[in-house]
Amino acid sequence: MNSGNMLVFGAGYIGRKIAEFLVCPLMRGKIYTYQDIEDQIKNIQESGYPNTQIIINAVGYVGENSVDDCEQNQEKTYFSNVTVPTLLADYCLKHKIYFVHIGSGCLYHYNYEIDMPVSEEKEPDFFDLTYVRSKIAIEKILANRIQADAQRILVCRIRIPLDYQPHPRNLLDKVLRYDRIIDARNSITYLPDFLKILKILIAQEVRGIVNLVNAGGLYYPDLLTYYNFLAKKNKMPEHDFEVIDYRDLEKPRTNLLMSVDKLRSIGIMPDNIKDVYVDCVTRYISNLKGADGQ
Ligand SMILES: NC(=O)c1ccc[n+]([C@@H]2O[C@H](COP(=O)([O-])OP(=O)(O)OC[C@H]3O[C@@H](n4cnc5c(N)ncnc54)[C@H](OP(=O)(O)O)[C@@H]3O)[C@@H](O)[C@H]2O)c1
């Protein structure tokens, strides 16, 4: 795999991480039309990256504060989450480029008592949020082309990013902002693992929809309990929280477990999130201490 042949669109939280890890250009220009894509790629090709073979799309709108913001910004939501990725896929179709789309796994209702971890084949059924409807719409557009074998496309469904580097979108930062923590176990994408797996999938030119999450599920109170254990040890403030039944949350949210069987069938064995979060919190606290100069 040659990083010089790859371009990442979407200079946000996920896109920056991907471009940094894969050491490839991060496209920062706004896309309003198909011509914008042609122009931006022509420019980057003329400035030392002439041979584009892979385009990774991390463009999207997830809301400034939360996905609830998408309700007030429906046009922006559909434009960034459906129109722009479709235009990028069209560019890839025209130029015979492998297209990698960063999708979402938050597409389902889930009953913890009867449901098995959700496979890629299950039909999405969560229509309660504009954000999710837009993610379902683009997945359907891309799935249609994948099924018809019309072009080379990979959709990576990620879910609730967790990382050791503080960032407002990091699950650890999020739970540290909340006083009430839900009790449901959830599939999580640990970003350092995501980046390594993404690289393998691209190198193998895997096509189709793939749940790109860690194995198992994370119980958020465990994450905070371990954070408080280490915070106390390091004489840092602990975070008070109350555990609530996830069904008592007032806002519509997806809580679910996703299957990693497809990843395993490709030969990728993602770590169980339970084996990962302790190291993640340890490194996160070190980063906080480093930032404070402690
Ligand atoms: N973060 C999560 O929790 C999460 C979970 C699952 C899936 N995902 C998916 O991962 C993708 C990336 O999410 P993220 O967390 O990295 O979001 P982000 O930080 O908001 O990044 C999205 C980027 O897309 C850019 N963008 C939006 N519309 C654009 C347009 N018309 N032209 C060019 N750039 C445009 C944004 O630029 P501006 O800010 O300038 O508009 C921003 O830089 C999204 O598709 C999201 O649905 C994220």
Write down the pLDDT at residue 294. Answer: 55
Place of tokens 């119980």: 219
Place of tokens 């999207």: 60
What confidence tens digit (pLDDT) does each residue in 81-127 have? 999 999 999 999 999 999 999 999 999 999 999 999 999 999 999 99
Write down the pLDDT at residue 140. Answer: 98
CA angle 102/108/114 to nearest 5° reads: 135
Phi then psi for residue 141, to 5 deg, are -60, -45
The CA–CA distances, whole Å, from 53 to 82, 97, 188 equal 22, 5, 30
Residue 96 in contact with ligand 1 by CB distance below 6 A: no
Asked whether residue 77 is assigned to any structural domain, the reply reads yes
User: Using 50, 70 and 90 to split pLDDT, how confident is the model at 3?
Assistant: confident
Asked whether residue 49 is assigned to any structural domain, the reply reads yes
Domain, as residue range, for 96: 3-160+188-216+257-273
Residue 30 in contact with ligand 1 by CB distance below 6 A: yes
Asked if pLDDT for residue 1 goes beyond 80, the answer is no
Q: What domain count does the chain have?
A: 1
Q: Which atom of ligand 1 is nearest to the CA of 131?
A: 47
Write down the pLDDT at residue 4. Answer: 79
Residue 162 in contact with ligand 1 by CB distance below 6 A: no
Write down the pLDDT at residue 250. Answer: 83
- CATH number for the domain that contains residue 117: 3.40.50.720
Residue 219 in contact with ligand 1 by CB distance below 6 A: no
Asked whether residue 241 is assigned to any structural domain, the reply reads no
Asked if pLDDT for residue 226 goes beyond 80, the answer is yes
Amino acid at 107: L
Among 8, 9, 14, residue to substitute to test ligand 1 (most atoms within 8 Å of Cβ): 14
Asked whether residue 146 is assigned to any structural domain, the reply reads yes
Write down the pLDDT at residue 149. Answer: 86
What confidence tens digit (pLDDT) does each residue in 49-62 have? 999 999 999 999 99
**Burial of 105: CB neighbours in 10 Å, binned 0-12, 13-18, 19+:** buried
For residue 10, how far is its CA from the centre of ligand 1 (angstroms)? 6
Strand order through the sheet with 208-211: 26-27, 6-9, 54-57, 98-104, 153-158, 208-211
Asked whether residue 230 is assigned to any structural domain, the reply reads no
Asked if pLDDT for residue 74 goes beyond 90, the answer is yes
Asked whether residue 100 is assigned to any structural domain, the reply reads yes
Residue 196 in contact with ligand 1 by CB distance below 6 A: no
CA 237 – CA 246 distance, rounded (Å): 26
